């Protein structure tokens, strides 16, 4: 019998393994009978689990329980925030939406859909070479006519580069004109301290499966005074802005995963930063022309400790990914939602990369299960994989 190739997982930004404790809670709650909207004893017990979980999630994220609206995940939460606010605030004179050029497709696509189908006038805030929003450009866009803006949205931390955005300054600019601000904090949650109340945000998206919880549940933290137009209509659950039968087991597991994440956040961030430093040193030593992108500085105002984004000149990122995968190392070319689409990342293009560099880049993302052995495995197989990917590119390019 042939030996099984050990797998080294470097795609935590796409999804991270569930904590055993969260899995245990979810398994237990899946056996529970009772709809959380029912009035009988089983329904009331299910509701108790949901509301206790809501309280824990709110406390961990600096919000109030009444501000936590459960959704099926980050995509739905982003759609509810941006479409719901646009529809609720739209008038003949107010139809503009401002968003950063590096948003995840879960935000980018709803915004462009609003422009195509609902008469929205969308305006993109550019970013610098490190992937950070240009505040002067955002200020100019707001001050040009603040009365016609329905909402501003800027992600807390970018999912491809790991760059942390100046959310406080974005909120400060918009607050002068009472413009609501939403932030997709899916990547930041777990590795950057989040405090919804202190941030001044009007709405914030999080999801469980980036935190060691299950796929299929997330939340939109939203100030009580906001009344977005619902995407779904039905039973009126979740403040009457998100109808649908409540997933008790998913929510309980979400709360458990967030508890563990926040409890160990500081020590995990430090441990993962150390692994990241080893990874960066090893890649640049073994592949001298490799370019590590994004903010070189660590810290809550600079970049996440979890993401290493590297350009490999002369290589196709997809080819290098598959060669590494064949050796048991799982990485990404960027957002999993765009995987398999033969086009360069809009994030990299927005940062000023040309198409060749954008196509020749990989994202290595770490998480709570990452180990030194994972880094060792990647560094062991990288040189040969890189050499083969580069040779394949030369052959395709017709080199002699």
Cross-strand pairs, 223: none
Interatomic CA distance for residues 152 and 326, integer angstroms:
43
The DSSP symbol for 87 reads H
Contacts of 390 (CB under 8 A, 6+ apart): 312, 314, 315
Round to whole Å and give the CA distance between 48 and 90. Answer: 37
Count of Cβ atoms closer than 10 Å to residue 119 Cβ: 11
- Hey, is 204 helix, strand or coil? strand
Q: How many CB atoms lie within 10 A of CB 266?
A: 10
Q: H or E element: which one contains 317?
A: helix 317-326
Kindly name the residue from 88, 231, 337, 338 that is annotated as catalytic. 337
User: Would you call 315 a catalytic residue per the annotation?
Assistant: no
**Helix/strand/coil (H, E, C) string of 338-363?**
HCCCCCCCHHHHHCCCCHHHHHCEEE
SS3 206: strand
Alpha-carbon gap, residue 97 to 205, rounded angstroms: 17
Q: Which residues does 265 contact at the CB level (< 8 Å), separation at least 6?
A: 190, 191, 193
H-assigned helices in 118-247:
135-144, 167-175, 196-199
Q: Interior CA angle at 355 toward 352 and 361, to 5°?
A: 85
Provide the CB-side half-sphere exposure for 158 (13 A, CA). 32
Contact 389, 38 (CB under 8 A): no
- Are 182 and 196 in contact by the 8 Å Cβ rule? The answer is no
Structural contact between residues 379 and 285, judged by C-beta atoms closer than 8 angstroms? no
Measured between alpha carbons, how far is 155 from 142 in angstroms, rounded to an integer? 17
CA pair distance 160, 103, nearest whole angstrom: 10
DSSP secondary structure letter of residue 209: G
Q: Which positions are catalytic?
A: 337
């Amino acid at each position: 019998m042939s030996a099984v190739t050990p797998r080294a997982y470097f795609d935590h930004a796409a999804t991270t393994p569930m904590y055993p404790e969260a899995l245990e809670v979810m398994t237990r709650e899946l056996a529970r009978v009772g709809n959380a909207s029912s009035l009988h004893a089983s329904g009331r017990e299910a509701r108790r689990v949901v509301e206790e979980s809501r309280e824990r999630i709110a406390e961990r994220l600096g919000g109030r329980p009444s501000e936590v609206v459960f959704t099926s995940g980050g995509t739905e939460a982003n759609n509810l925030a941006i479409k719901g606010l646009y529809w609720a605030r739209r008038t003949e004179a107010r139809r503009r939406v401002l968003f950063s050029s590096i948003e995840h497709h879960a935000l980018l696509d709803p915004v462009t859909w609003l422009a195509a189908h609902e008469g929205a006038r969308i305006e993109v805030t550019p970013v610098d070479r490190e992937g950070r929003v240009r505040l002067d450009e955002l200020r100019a866009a707001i001050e040009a006519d603040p009365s016609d803006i329905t909402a501003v949205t800027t992600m807390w931390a970018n999912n491809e580069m790991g760059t942390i955005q100046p959310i406080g300054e974005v909120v400060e600019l918009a607050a002068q004109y009472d413009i609501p601000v939403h932030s997709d904090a899916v990547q930041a949650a777990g590795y950057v301290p989040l405090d919804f109340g202190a941030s001044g945000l009007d709405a914030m998206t999080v999801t469980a499966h980036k935190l060691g919880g299950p796929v299929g549940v997330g939340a939109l933290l939203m100030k009580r005074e906001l009344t977005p137009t619902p995407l779904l209509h039905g039973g009126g659950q979740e403040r009457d802005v998100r109808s649908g039968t409540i997933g008790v087991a998913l929510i309980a597991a979400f709360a458990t995963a967030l508890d563990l994440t926040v409890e160990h956040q500081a020590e995990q961030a430090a441990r993962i930063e150390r692994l990241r430093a080893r990874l960066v040193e090893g890649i640049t030593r073994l592949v001298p022309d490799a370019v590590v992108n994004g903010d070189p500085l660590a810290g809550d105002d600079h970049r996440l400790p979890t993401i290493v984004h590297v350009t490999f000149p002369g290589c196709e990122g997809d080819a290098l990914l598959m060669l590494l995968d064949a050796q048991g190392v799982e990485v990404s070319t960027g957002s999993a939602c765009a995987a398999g689409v033969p086009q360069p990342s809009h994030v990299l293009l927005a940062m000023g990369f040309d198409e060749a560099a954008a196509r020749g880049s990989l994202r290595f993302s770490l998480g709570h299960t990452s180990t030194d052995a994972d880094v060792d495995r990647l560094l062991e197989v990288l040189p040969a994989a890189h050499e083969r990917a580069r040779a394949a590119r030369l052959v395709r390019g017709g080199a002699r």
